[in-house]
């Protein structure tokens, strides 16, 4: 079994004495592709199919990776044809003693990174961001209802496995929406868990096929499902993960019930488009000394990329904060609700804000 990759301590001392990080990393990579003085990297040690167009990768990080909690995400980056692509993926299993992290990747039409990872050879090395995300099962005895749609199942698998390792100290019910049975990920494993643990149950909700098995339902999330899905108890904690429309529909359907609601969407919310958003403004990049004209009707991340600027980014949905940078002057507009922020900030998320006026950014 491969264990965590450890770098010789003398290399760290050498780096501190004289070697620039880029030079040291170049030579380290010749000795071992996972060695780096600055970059969190991971090797693909296993690749296995899960469902139609879905693959799980098992990654062995180097020692710079600080680990993760069940329910969290990581940014994964690779270079394809000279262009670096980065995307956020949820850990699809709980933390294990071997230090490895498992991500489950779905091929999406037009998605270059997903298609690449589906066929990536074992032994390949990826860049790996530090884990982020707050989705979790609260401590206590209150029942938990997990609602997952599509790729939203991956953080739920991590959380369910963590609860299983603890013996399911509280009732957990998982409702998993997919178009067909062929689209379900780890259905057999979930059914096996439910058969062994009375405190865990799972329902598969199909939107493109009729329900047949006793643990199957059909149709998009609807108040009709509540009688079956809501566990008994005075207070229920609900976790929802899926496309933005699914998460918002779940919030609407569950309104009025005595519960707490925590959600993460893996697609951005719809944007409010207004003719007044047309036009261009000047953006000064303070660190590089450049001044650019960018569109006002796009996220700053998209607008800067159009001008050849490549800010660091990850999820492109305002969750991971990888694209955050400082803003020293000017006004920005939140794409979700059109609220305008005039004050300087050290944490402007470029992916979910647009330029309202001329700006100065710490890029």
CA proximity to 315, closest of 74, 65, 44, 70: 74
Tell me, what's the pLDDT at 313?
Answer: 82
Query: Could you tell me if residue 117 is inside a domain?
Result: yes
Q: Would you say residue 94 lies in a domain? A: yes
d(Cα 270, Cα 247) in Å, to the nearest integer? 13
pLDDT digit string (tens) for 80-137? 888 888 888 999 999 999 999 999 998 877 778 889 999 999 999 999 999 988 899 9
Q: Is 10 exposed, middle or buried (0-12, 13-18, 19+ CB in 10 A)?
A: exposed
The whole-number pLDDT of residue 31 equals 61
Q: Nearest to residue 356, comparing CAs of 324, 331, 329?
A: 331
Residue 5 has pLDDT above 50, yes or no: no
**The domain that contains 37 carries what CATH number?**
2.40.30.10
Q: Is residue 25 part of a domain?
A: yes
Q: What pLDDT is attached to residue 59? A: 97
pLDDT interval class at 157 (50, 70, 90): very high
Last residue of a domain, one of 207, 241, 265: 265
pLDDT at 163 over 50: yes
Would residue 138 count as lying in a domain?
Answer: no
Predicted confidence (pLDDT) at residue 4 exceeds the cutoff of 50: no
Residue that wins the pLDDT comparison between 176 and 316: 176
pLDDT attached to residue 272:
63
pLDDT of residue 276: 76
Beta strands in the chain (DSSP E): 41-51, 54-61, 73-80, 83-90, 101-106, 125-128, 144-149, 172-178, 200-206, 216-218, 236-242, 259-265, 280-285, 290-295, 324-329, 332-334, 340-341, 345-349, 353-355, 359-361
pLDDT for 33 beyond 80: no
The predicted structure's pLDDT at residue 141: 84
pLDDT band at 279 (very low <50, low <70, confident <90, very high): confident
pLDDT at 14 over 60: no
Q: What local confidence, expressed as pLDDT, does residue 140 receive?
A: 84
Average pLDDT, the chain: 86
Cα torsion for 136, 160, 198, 239, to the nearest 10°?
40
Does residue 114 share a domain with residue 16? yes
Question: Is 337 part of a structural domain of the chain?
Answer: yes
More confident residue, 159 or 262: 159
Range of the domain at 92: 9-128
**Residues 100 and 192 both lie in one domain:** no
What pLDDT is recorded for position 338? 82
Provide the pLDDT confidence category of residue 2 given band limits of 50, 70 and 90.
very low
Quote the number of domains for the chain: 3
């Amino acid at each position: 079994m491969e264990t965590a990759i450890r770098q010789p301590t003398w290399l760290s001392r050498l780096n501190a004495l004289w070697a620039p990080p880029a030079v040291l990393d170049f030579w380290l990579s010749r000795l071992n592709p996972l060695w780096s003085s600055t970059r969190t990297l991971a090797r693909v040690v296993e690749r296995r199919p899960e469902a139609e167009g879905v693959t799980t990768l098992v990654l062995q990080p180097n020692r710079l990776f600080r680990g993760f909690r069940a329910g969290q995400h990581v940014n994964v980056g690779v270079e394809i044809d000279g262009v670096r692509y980065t995307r956020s993926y949820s850990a699809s299993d709980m933390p294990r003693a071997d230090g490895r992290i498992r991500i489950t990747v779905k091929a999406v039409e037009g998605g270059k990174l997903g298609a690449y990872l589906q066929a990536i050879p074992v032994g390949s090395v990826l860049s790996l961001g530090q884990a982020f995300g707050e989705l979790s099962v609260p401590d206590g005895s209150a029942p938990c209802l997990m609602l997952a749609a599509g790729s939203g199942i991956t953080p739920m698998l991590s959380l369910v496995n963590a609860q299983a390792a603890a013996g399911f100290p509280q009732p957990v019910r998982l409702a998993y929406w997919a178009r067909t049975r062929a689209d379900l990920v780890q259905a057999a494993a979930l059914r096996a868990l439910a058969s062994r643990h009375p405190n865990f149950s799972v329902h598969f909700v199909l939107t493109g096929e009729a329900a047949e098995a006793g643990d199957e339902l059909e149709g998009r999330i609807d108040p009709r499902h509540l009688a079956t899905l809501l566990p008994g108890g005075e207070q229920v904690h609900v976790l929802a993960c899926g496309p933005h429309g699914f998460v918002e529909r779940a919030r609407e359907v569950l309104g009025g019930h005595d519960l707490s609601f925590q959600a993460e969407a893996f697609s951005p919310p719809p944007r409010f488009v207004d003719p007044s958003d047309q036009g261009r403004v000047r953006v000064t990049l303070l660190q590089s000394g450049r001044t650019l004209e960018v569109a006002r009707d796009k996220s700053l991340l998209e607008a800067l990329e159009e001008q050849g600027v490549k800010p660091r980014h990850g999820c492109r949905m305002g969750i991971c904060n990888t694209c955050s940078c400082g803003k020293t002057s000017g006004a920005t507009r939140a794409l979700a609700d059109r609220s305008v922020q005039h004050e300087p900030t050290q944490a402007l998320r470029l992916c979910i804000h647009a330029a309202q006026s001329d700006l100065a950014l710490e890029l």
